[in-house]
Amino acid sequence: MPEKSQHVTGTRFNPRSLRVESEADARRIISELGSDPAGVRIMSGKMVHLAVSIENVQARAAHIIKEIALSKGAECATPRELMVVEGTEPVNVILMGTRSQLRKVIKNLSVQPFGLKTLSGELKALLSSMPGTTPRVLEPGGHRLELGGRTLVMGVVNTTPDSFSDAGAFADFEDARARALEMGTAGADIIDIGGESTRPGAEPVTLEEEVHRTVPLIESIAGEVGVPISIDTYKAEVARKALDAGACIINDISGLRFDPEMIPLAAERGVPVVIMHMQGVPRNMQENPVYDDVVADISRFLRERASEAVAGGVEPGRIFVDPGIGFGKTVEHNLEIVRRIEEFRSLGYPVVLGTSRKRFIGSVLDRPVTERLLGTAATVAFAVARGVDVVRVHDVEEMVEVVRMADAVAGRDRDRG
């Protein structure tokens, strides 16, 4: 006898699965059904399913987490050897359930021993930072940046003669100035100015040379470009002079590590900072990069660096995080980061992603750097759909359109003001 078809063939009831991306999305879906407002509030948390990775809990605490999770209708995956490891031995677990169930689990964990009260607080903060929370506004340099609505576009101007992306096309002052102004006209939300190449194998330049390449340009465009200017540097003195010249955001590829004066400077000036992950330094970062779990390892790094920045006086609301595509990662690492980019949103900070013209695109498509526009567009559109906040790109005119269309498909606010 032939197997019966598993396809749903009936049309009377039209059953189908629903894509629910956030609690706000759930509220919209239930409201459109015509449900009572009180019911919308109650049911929306039951429509959003989450899976949360938790590291380094004591084995005896993992037992408690699992018991509480099961009692609330949730689930907790634990290692097979949990029953035989010592009570204080650290293990990793995965907590699963609806947002509503997890809230109940978190409440119960708050009165438990073995570090679970602290875990309860961290999980509560995680849930509050997930997609669907209230948008926020930054006003760097008097400019308005709205986060949580449409995706922002950061345009890149490299003033280096050995830039990987444009072969030094904007090393000349007038060319760089013209390009920056073009980006502002084309719809960039931020202009990112860099004066030192960070391509694999690049050697550092002197502070004086980096200042010479960036500060006059920033002074020249600050009053004309009409959007915030970011200084791409890991040197505090370069950042200081750039801020004095009119920049109002610091973008540090070292994650605020290389110069001990960078955090105090950012705190003193009250400017937003982009904390990026990099394994190694540019001249050696591509020498056999290794991770246990690339997303988990980078998330841990970014969380630690953000905490260090906050401890040094940087306001949490002024921190962005960037997983650092191409900075100490293989092709597969980069693909996995993009594929799992929404996991970085659980850190509670806006996420910046810079895939533009990167080598992993060339490796996948077998294209030189000058022919990676379509590959870049694919990664940008994918990242927008997954909720990234800022895309850092070279081809602003084209990517503004890609972002606008992707925002429209994703149902995000697409007003470009």
The answer to whether 358 is a known catalytic residue is yes
Angle at which helices 373-385 and 396-410 cross, to 10° = 30
Catalytic site residue from 99, 104, 345, 392: 392
75-77 vs 49-58, strand pairing mode: unpaired
Structural domain count, the chain? 2
- Same domain for 348 and 205: yes
**Of 379, 266, 351, 352, which is closest to residue 312 (Cα–Cα)?**
266
Assigned domain for 416 exists: no
- Give the pLDDT score at 374: 98
Task: Return the H-helix or E-strand segment holding 155.
Answer: strand 152-158
- Same domain for 318 and 285: yes
- Same domain for 201 and 79: no
Question: Domain containing 36: what range?
Answer: 23-129
- Same domain for 56 and 154: no
- Give the pLDDT score at 417: 45
Assigned domain for 13 exists: no
- Same domain for 379 and 320: yes
- Give the pLDDT score at 323: 98
**Of 62, 77, 149, which is closest to residue 114 (Cα–Cα)?**
62
- Give the pLDDT score at 284: 76
Q: What is the pLDDT along the chain (417 residues), one digit of tens a residue?
A: 555 556 555 578 878 888 887 888 889 899 999 999 999 988 988 998 999 999 999 999 999 999 999 999 999 999 988 877 778 899 999 999 999 999 999 999 999 999 999 999 999 999 887 755 557 899 999 999 999 889 999 999 999 875 554 545 556 889 999 999 999 999 999 999 999 987 777 778 999 999 999 999 999 999 899 999 999 999 999 999 999 999 999 999 999 999 999 999 999 999 999 999 999 777 777 778 899 999 999 999 999 999 999 999 999 999 999 999 999 999 999 999 999 999 999 899 999 999 999 999 999 999 999 999 999 999 999 999 999 999 999 999 999 999 999 999 988 775 554
- Same domain for 184 and 112: no
- Same domain for 122 and 183: no
Task: Please calculate the CA angle 27-28-32 and round it to the nearest 5 degrees.
Answer: 115
The answer to whether 414 is a known catalytic residue is no
- Give the pLDDT score at 203: 79
| Residue 228 three-state SS | coil
Catalytic site residue from 177, 241, 358, 359: 358
C-alpha distances in Å from residue 400, one per residue of 306, 395, 397: 29, 9, 6
Question: Burial letters for 91-109: b for 16+ Cβ neighbours within 10 Å, e otherwise?
Answer: bebebbbbbbbbebbbebb
